[in-house]
């Protein structure tokens, strides 16, 4: 019994030490991330201010908006991959509202484009293994490329990180930066592309599963 008790205590101490070490490492990582974000935000804020950009009335200061944007852009998951897709959109229109709407749509399309590019790379790596014909491979590639607008429409709510404006003659220029969770974006992209592949190609279900690396 004493031996079992000693072993239990040793295991508990080891677990506590591991948890403390992990917490310390996580704290150091967050501190480093914050430091990098603040540095990049201040640098970018000065540049944009010199170019005539200002924040909307009642919005957070530009350097704070940019700091939050850099924080999200620099975050990594447990495997070292980015946690968020962060993209910018820019537009000039007669009103601030119209410029913001157009800039936001541009940023959403950029996010969708990034998703398409990533899924296309995944599919390209799998095409050879699935022994697709040249015609099938070309059809798959074309379908993926044509999915960007559909993905943009299905993204739903994005995180608005940066919203700044400047006057361009009688018009207003809007510059926005959006973020979207990468894993969620990948799931949406795969779902849409799979549906299009089912509708527009003659690939069998097992080939589709392997092509899109469905687990």
Please tell me what DSSP assigns to residue 95: S
Please tell me what DSSP assigns to residue 76: B
How does pLDDT run across 129-179, given as a tens digit for each residue?
Answer: 666 777 777 777 888 888 888 888 888 789 999 999 999 999 999 999 999
pTM of the model: 0.76
Q: Where are the domains of the chain?
A: 2-211
Q: Would the pLDDT of 118 be above 80?
A: yes
* Rounded-to-integer distance, Cα 29 and Cα 164, Å: 29
The predicted pLDDT at position 38 comes to 85
Once rounded to an integer, what is the mean pLDDT over residues 63-90? 90
* Rounded-to-integer distance, Cα 151 and Cα 147, Å: 6
* Rounded-to-integer distance, Cα 130 and Cα 208, Å: 9
Once rounded to an integer, what is the mean pLDDT over residues 103-122? 89
């Amino acid at each position: 019994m004493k031996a079992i008790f000693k072993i239990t205590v040793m295991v508990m101490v080891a677990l506590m030490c591991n948890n403390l070490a992990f917490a310390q490492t996580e704290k150091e990582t967050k501190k480093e991330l914050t430091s990098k974000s603040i540095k990049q935000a201040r640098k970018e804020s000065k540049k944009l201010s010199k170019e005539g950009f200002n924040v909307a009335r009642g919005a957070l200061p530009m350097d704070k908006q940019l700091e939050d944007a850099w924080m999200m852009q620099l975050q990594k998951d447990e495997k070292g991959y980015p946690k968020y897709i962060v993209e910018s959109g820019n537009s000039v229109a007669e009103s601030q509202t119209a410029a913001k709407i157009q800039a936001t749509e541009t940023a959403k399309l950029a996010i969708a484009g990034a998703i398409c590019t990533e899924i296309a790379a995944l599919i390209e790596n799998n095409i050879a293994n699935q022994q697709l014909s040249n015609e099938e491979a070309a059809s798959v590639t074309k379908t993926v490329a044509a999915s960007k607008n559909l993905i943009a429409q299905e993204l739903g709510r994005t995180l608005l990180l940066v919203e700044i404006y400047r006057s361009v003659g009688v018009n207003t220029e809007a510059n926005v930066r959006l973020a979207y969770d990468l894993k969620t974006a990948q799931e949406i992209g795969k779902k849409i592309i799979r549906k299009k592949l089912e509708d527009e190609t003659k690939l069998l279900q097992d080939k589709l599963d392997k092509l899109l690396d469905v687990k």
